[in-house]
Each structure stands twice: as structure tokens, then as C-alpha cells.
Amino acid sequence: MSLTRRLLSFSTIPAFSALIPFLILPLLARAAGEQAWVAIAVGQSVGGFLALAVGLGLNVQGPTLVALAAEEERPELFARGTRARLMLVIPALVIGSAVAWILAPAGAAGDAALMAVAITLGGLTSSWYLIGLGRPLPLIGYELLPRAIATLIGAVLVVVGGAAWVWTYPTLLITAILGGVGAYALRVVPVRELMTGWASSMRFARRQLSAAATETVSGAYTALAVSLVTAGASTAQAATYVSGDKLWRMGQTVTGAQGNALQGWVVEEDRAHFGWRARRALALHIALGVAGFLMFALLGPWLTAVAFGSDVAIDQPTAILFGVAVLCMSMSTATGRHVLIALGHPKRVFASVVAGAVVGIPTTLALASAFGAVGGAAGLATAETVVLVVQVAMIVPLWSARRARA
């Protein structure tokens, strides 16, 4: 598949996927009230973090593994990856629902727990496999459409029933995710193969520990950002931060999609064109990051006011800090996935996200407690900046050595 088709397919589809929640989020902010707004966000935050753990780092390394595997080996690779994640999902669901219940505002704990379950199940996605194959259409039929339908129905029910019916949205989402993921898995391999070979899946999981740790630690300051702010700030300030976080999630989804689309392309043909393609990937991610920064800096307060209401809209300083986070995150997607991982250094990517977490988690908690939403955004921007700086510092000597050998 050409670069243009990859970008159009695997960036556009997740972009629409990221837009789907915007069908219901404005309704939650206005019709269901502040408590439901924060509760759903907490569930998404906790579930998003655990989905990264369940995903076993396949969002990072999966497309590359599939692209480099022989065609006849790919279905078994899919089966091993699916079984390995099934072993993790049950404990993750228990932990996620309990944590979301505890962190949620009073009276909305059940909504938060259900949302955590729904988003955690998203870690079972088949997107890593389809991206590696270069086949975008099944993503629409098996994942995008079912979730869109669930969200539309949920939106109608929230309008009709208000806060009392918020639980229907995550419940419908759970059904859509399980149905779509299960249907595609059975299309690739027979159910018998999904239920046997657990020893090989455990070995596969151990090989994925570095990539899984990278995504999970990264989630400690990205996916868990809402939970950290909720723990440190008032409900009102947390509600404001959630508005900016929703736009941030959209940018994160689009950036990750572009990163996935380019990941297999960079290493195709046994890395024969690696240098040129890696530079091209970095340029594309810089352009995307700058666009994200400008969107936040120029339109962030207006967009959140229109979408979620003026009571929870972010201010200009908060918008700019979210923009900085988007820019740095987009660039580090290229330096991490398309350079360090492609060169065989996943542990260095892990080291960079550990540095981001070590700085970002206490910074977010402290600044959110002191300054509310703007403090939380400052903590997120700081973490993403640290990750980028550390990765660039690692790449410079590697690239110099590579050029010296050429």
C-alpha cells in the first residue's frame, strides 16, 4: 500500500472514531450534569490506562511484527496476540471498575465503573493486525460502525432520561466492542485455535513486556491524567480539565493513527529505505503536531465552550499548554516508533517514558492541587516534553554512528 493510501486510510478512520464520542459528550455536559461528566471521564481515564496494559504493547510493535512476518504465519501471530490479551483482560476489568468507582463523584460511581469496563475492553482491538496487513476496511465494519451506533443510541437515551440513563451509554459500548472484536477474531482463526496454545501465548506475552511496559508507563501520565487531576483538584476544576482532555484525546488518537500507518511503511522491504522514510515520518509528525498546537492555542477555549458549555470551557493558558503537549507527543511518536523501535531499541523508548512518568505524575498532582485545570495541563505538557527531549538525546549518537558506517 502506498504512503498516501496508508495515511488516508489509517489516519482518517481513527479520526472519525475519535469524533464519535463528541456526539454524546456535549449532551453529558449539559443534560446529565457535572457529576456524570466527570464520572464518565474518570471511567475513560482509568479504562484507557488499563487498555494499554491489556494491549500488550501491540499498538507500538504489532504493526511491525505483522508487516515483517511471512503471510502464512500471520493468522497464528494474531491468535497468539489475542490469547495473550485475554489472559490479562479479566483482572484488568476488576481493577478498573473498582478504581473508577472509588475516584468518581458521589452518586455517579456506577457510571464510572461501567465506562472503565468498556474502555478497558478496547485493549482487545484488532487494529494492530489490520494496520500491519494494510487493510483498513475491516476496522470500519467491525470496530468503527458498532461503536458509532452504540454512541448514537446512547446519546438519544441520555437526552430522554438525563443523568439517570447515563449508564446505558457505556453498557451499549461494551456490547459493541465485544461483538466487533469477537466477530473479527472468528473471521481470522477458528474458535478452537483461540482456545488452545496458551503456552505459546504466554511466551509471546513475555517477549512483549518491553513494549507493554512502554505503553503502560506512558499511560500513567496521559491516560491517567484525568484521574490525577480529579484526585488533586476540585470537581469544578476537574470538569474544566476534562474539556481540554477531550480535545487532547482526539489529537492523541489522530497522532497515534498516523504513527501506526507509517510504522510498517518505515521498515518495509527489510528497511532498505529506512533513513529517508524515517525522516519523512518525522516531518509528517512535526506538521501534524504544529497543526494540533495551533488548534489548541487559537481555538481551544472557543471549541470547548461550544462543545461542552462555557461553564467547563478551558482558558487560554490551559489551551496553550495542551497544545504544547500535542506537539511534543506527535514528535515523540516519530522519534520513538519510527526511529528507536525501528532500529531495535524498544528499551530506550521505555526509558524515555519512565522519565516522563517520573516527572509528569508528581508534577500533575502538585500543580493540579495548586492551580486546578491549568496546573494539570502544565503537568501533562512537562511530561511530554521530557519524553521528547530524552528520545532526541538518545537518537543523536545512534544516527551519527549509522551515518559514519554508511
pLDDT digit string, tens, across residues 155-207: 888 878 777 888 998 999 999 999 999 999 999 888 888 888 888 888 888 88
**Residue of 122 and 64 predicted with greater confidence:** 122
Domain end call among 167, 185, 219: 219
Cell of 92: 484488568
Domain end call among 219, 247, 274: 219
Instruction: Tell me how crowded residue 102 is: count the other CB atoms within 10 A of its CB.
Output: 13
Q: Residues 178, 268: one domain?
A: no
Cell of 86: 485475554
Domain end call among 219, 240, 262: 219
Q: Residues 201, 241: one domain?
A: no
Residue 270, pLDDT above cutoff 60:
no
Burial class for 81, CB neighbours closer than 10 Å (0-12, 13-18, 19+): buried
Residue 133, pLDDT above cutoff 60:
yes
**Residue of 50 and 11 predicted with greater confidence:** 50
Split into its structural domains, the chain has a count of: 2
Q: Residues 213, 230: one domain?
A: no
Q: What is the pLDDT of residue 192?
A: 83
Residue 266, pLDDT above cutoff 60:
yes
Q: Residues 231, 207: one domain?
A: no
> SS3 string of the chain?
CCHHHHHHHHHHHHHHHHHHHHHCHHHHHHHHCHHHHHHHHHHHHHHHHHHHHHCCCHHHHHHHHHHHCCHHHHHHHHHHHHHHHHHHHHHHHHHHHHHHHHHCCCCCHHHHHHHHHHHHHHHHCCHHHHHHHCCCHHHHHHHHHHHHHHHHHHHHHHHHHHHHHCCHHHHHHHHHHHHHHHHHHHHHCCHHHHCCCHHHHHHHHHHCHHHHHHHHHHHCCCCCHHHHHHHHCCHHHHHHHHHHHHHHHHHHHHHHHHHHHHHHHHHHHHHCCHHHHHHHHHHHHHHHHHHHHHHHHHHHHHHHHHHHCHHHCCCHHHHHHHHHHHHHHHHHHHHHHHHHHCCCCHHHHHHHHHHHHHHHHHHHHHHHHHHCHHHHHHHHHHHHHHHHHHHHHHHHHHHHHHHHHC
Q: Residues 148, 194: one domain?
A: yes
Q: Residues 194, 243: one domain?
A: no
pLDDT per residue over 284-302, tens digit each?
999 999 999 999 999 999 9
Q: Residues 243, 206: one domain?
A: no
Residue 253, pLDDT above cutoff 80:
no
Lowest mean pLDDT segment, chosen from 41-50, 244-253, 319-328, 358-367: 244-253
Per the structure, the complete domain to which residue 254 belongs is given by: 223-406
State how far the alpha carbon of 400 is from the alpha carbons of 174, 269, 313, 341, 404, in Å: 48, 23, 46, 17, 6
Q: Residues 184, 303: one domain?
A: no
State how far the alpha carbon of 180 is from the alpha carbons of 43, 125, 132, in Å: 21, 9, 19
pLDDT mean over 352-377: 91
Q: Residues 228, 206: one domain?
A: no
Q: Residues 25, 116: one domain?
A: yes
Cα 233 from chain centroid? 24
pLDDT per residue over 39-88, tens digit each?
888 898 889 889 988 988 887 778 778 877 888 888 899 999 899 999 99
Confidence of residue 13 (pLDDT cuts 50, 70, 90): low
Lowest mean pLDDT segment, chosen from 219-223, 248-252, 304-308, 366-370: 219-223
State how far the alpha carbon of 127 is from the alpha carbons of 14, 44, 143, 266, in Å: 10, 19, 9, 18
Q: Residues 193, 331: one domain?
A: no
Q: Residues 284, 173: one domain?
A: no
